[in-house]
Structure 1
Amino acid sequence: MSCTNKKHILEIEDLSVSFLQYENNRSSRQIRLPVISRLSVSVHEGEIVAIVGSSGSGKSLLAHAVLDILPYNADISGSIYFQGELLTHKKIAALRGKEIALVPQSTTYLDPLMPVARQVRGNKTPENKKRQKTLFRRYNLGEDVDKKYPFECSGGMTRRILLTSALMGNPKLIIADEPT
C-alpha cells in the first residue's frame, strides 16, 4: 500500500520557530532569531520520516515544537495536526507521552536519583510492571538493569532505556531525536 492510501498521522504546515533574545552581551535591545522557517512535513501511518541536518539546524527544536515543549522565549507559527486534528496546547498536553512520545537526544532526561525501571514504568500497576519487563527483554536489558541508576548504565543501555520509556504508552507516533 502506498503512503497516499494511508492516513496522515502528523501534518506540519508552514511551521516557523524563532526566539526572542538580546542582540549581544552589552545591549538591552532584543531581536528575533529565526530558527525554522515555513517548514511543511507530512507523516503517514506506518511511515518512517527522517529529518536530516547539521548540528544546530533545528531538528530538536522541531521535535520540541510538535510536543509543545519549547522554552518561554520561543515564538511559533503554522499548524500542526495529529490524525487530522489541529493540535492546541491543551490537546498536545493530553497526547504527550501517551499517543505521541519522544525518545530524547540527551540521556539527562533520566532522573539520576531514581532506578531506571521505576522511571520507565511510572506508576506501579501490575500492567505497567509487566509491560516494562517485556520491553526491557525486547531491547536486551536484563533484570539486573531494573535497579540500576542512570549513571550505572552504558550509553547504549541508556538509549534503550529511553526508547522503552517512550514505548510504555504504546504511542501512535514516536519522535526519535537522534535515534542512533
Structure 2
Amino acid sequence: MFIPYTFHVANSCLKFENEISVDSESPVLYALKQANAYNDTVPPDCPPPAVRGECYVQFIRKEPSSFGWGFGPTFAPIGITGDIYLEAVNTTEIVIQLESVNVASYSVRTKSWQVDVLLSSNSEQFESKIKFILENTTWSYETLVIFNHNLSITVSIPDDLFHVGCQMDS
C-alpha cells in the first residue's frame, strides 16, 4: 500500500507556479474493473455474506481487511499517505554501455594482447576514471578518460592471462 513513486519532471516544470494534481478513483470500482479486465476468476471473488464486505480485493494493492472482515467495518480507503512534494536533485545519472570488445592484435615485443573496447553513454562530455578488471585474475587497468557519447580505448592484457581459441569435441 505504501509505495513511494519517483517521477522525473525537469522537462515539464515551469519556472513559476507549478502545481501537483492527483486524480484518484474508488478502490472498490477499480478492483471491479481490474477483475473484469483479467477475464478469469481468482477465488474468492467476494467475502462470505456475513462479512458484508467488498469484492475483488485480490486485484488491488490494499490491506485485505479494508474490503471487509468478520467483526469490523468495510472501509476501502482512498488517498495519499504522507506528504507530496517536489524534490530537486542536482545529480546526473550516467549510463555507460559496453558496445563491443575486439581482440585487435598481439604484440610479440610486450607479449600482450591489444583489446579494443567500445563504450557508449547517454551523457554529454564528462571526465571519469574507468577501471577494467579481468575476472578470476589479479589484472586490472585504470585510466582517466574524457567521455563524449562514445569512447574507444585499447587495453593491453598479458598473454599468460589471456586465452584465445576454441575447444573441439571429438
What TM-score, normalized to structure 2?
0.17
**Which structure would you say has the larger RCO, counting Cα contacts within 8 Å and 6 or more residues apart?**
1
Per residue, is there more helix in 1 or in 2?
A: 1
What TM-score, normalized to structure 1?
0.16
Larger radius of gyration: 2
